[in-house]
Amino acid sequence: MCLMVAAKSAGERVLLVTRENRRIGEPDLAARLLHRDGLMLVVDKPAGWPVHRGPKGGPSLEDHFSELSFGLPRAPALAHRLDKDTSGCLVLGRHRKALELLGGLFKRGAIEKTYWAIVEGGPAEESGEIDLALARLDAQRGWWMQANPLGLPARTSWRVLGRGTAADGAPLAWLELRPHTGRTHQLRVHAEAMGWPILGDPIYGPGRRPDSPPLHLHARAIAVPLKVGKPPIEVEAPAPAHMRDALAACGAPLA
């Protein structure tokens, strides 16, 4: 495949990344494609990659969306976001009308999102719901959040899928998390507020230690009701490599 150049706007040209000119370590999004139709794509986002460039710039997944045009004149665009260190199902709209449709579905809470998390310790019960409003921690911390009764409503359902121990004997739990609202860092703050932070969380949990593992939070599945009167499109992302040992320790039946 040749190196391609495309117009992004009048008078501007942007280099499109192809599978042949990719640098070592960069994601191959075409190989991580989980679902494709005329309106949307779902890709298995790798942990450690921001979905878009931040204020300081740097590489992001958006740099590689040109690989996923599949004959359309423009690259797809983000329909929602995942944190840099979260892996799993990421939805892209293939064109403007698709993005409007998907944006409305996300805003109304019509899209069902299911996450897997490994947490330190774990809840005493087997299932429950967290209803804790969230607000920004302070202006200097950017999007870091905290539980705050004066903040925006935030609600998460959770269920224990398994329990186990880490290599050092510390207790772990494998949770299914279903956010009913879409606040920034909602699952991470809710888990920490309940006393069982997500393993490897560098902001709200034990991931501040130099020897900590990566964040163990994975967007496992998504269900998108694209067409009225038809079943939602359901997509699952496989467990990422960095979570497999902890999942196995908690009894996950990994192939």
Catalytic residues: 83
Whole-number Å distance between alpha carbons of 255 and 244: 10
Contact present, 121 and 195 (Cβ < 8 Å): yes
